[in-house]
């Protein structure tokens, strides 16, 4: 369960934002998951829930939402754009390696047009915290959204 390490990163990020913005309670965490890394949403969600159990007051009302982001690649050599679906077949070991370090895609994938490994991962690489929403501490209890 290497997702656990990333779940911890998400929780620390939420805590950091809460501290910086003076949020007394976090209401929502929106996480963007890039297609390339193939993170198991349910494992990640489970791990986040386990970790925030120890921080009841801050996360009691927290809803965890996910957005999937399709991976898009662009060749630096010929300019061709392509997506994961037409990226060619990866075997189990290769997709597992990309799951741990998405950049090793440059070893196992290449431009469908010119075969160059020098491409850009434009979108959908891995994990990203899209927003943390919470209530400000203090009397007004206003909502605060942070990207």
Which positions touch other proteins (CB under 8 A)? 1-2, 4-6, 8-10, 12-13, 16-17, 76, 93, 97-98, 100-104, 106-107, 117-118, 121, 125-129, 132, 147
Say what the alpha-carbon torsion angle 12, 15, 21, 26 is, to the nearest 10 degrees: 130
Nearer to Zn ion, 59 or 119 (CB): 119
What tokens appear for 41 in the block?
A: 């949403």
Q: Which of 41, 45, 74, 80 binds Zn ion (CB under 5 A)?
A: 80
Nearer to other proteins, 56 or 147 (CB): 147
What is the distance between the alpha carbons of residues 10 and 4, in angstroms, rounded to a whole number? Answer: 10
69 has which bridge partners? 34
Asked if 69 and 124 touch (Cβ cutoff 8 Å), the reply is yes
What is the distance between the alpha carbons of residues 42 and 66, in angstroms, rounded to a whole number? Answer: 10
Q: Does 77 bind Zn ion (CB under 5 A)?
A: yes
Nearer to other proteins, 6 or 23 (CB): 6
Burial of 136 (0-12, 13-18, 19+ CB in 10 A): middle
Residue 39 CB, shortest distance to other proteins, in Å, is 12
Residue 74 CB, shortest distance to Zn ion, in Å, is 9
Residues that bind Zn ion (CB under 5 A): 75, 77-78, 80, 111, 113-114, 116
């Amino acid at each position: 369960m290497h997702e656990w390490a990333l779940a911890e990163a998400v929780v620390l990020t939420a805590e950091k934002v809460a501290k910086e913005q003076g949020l007394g309670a976090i209401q929502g965490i929106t996480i963007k998951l890039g297609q390339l890394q193939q993170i198991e949403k349910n494992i990640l969600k489970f791990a986040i829930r386990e970790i925030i159990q120890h921080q009841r007051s801050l996360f009691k009302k927290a809803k965890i939402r996910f957005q999937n982001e399709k991976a898009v690649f662009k060749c630096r050599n010929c300019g061709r754009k392509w997506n994961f679906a037409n990226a060619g077949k990866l075997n189990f070991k290769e997709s597992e390696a990309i799951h741990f370090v998405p950049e090793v895609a440059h070893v196992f994938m290449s431009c469908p047009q010119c075969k160059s490994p020098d491409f850009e991962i434009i979108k959908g690489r891995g994990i990203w915290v899209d927003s943390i929403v919470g209530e400000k501490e203090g009397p007004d209890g206003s909502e605060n959204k942070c990207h």
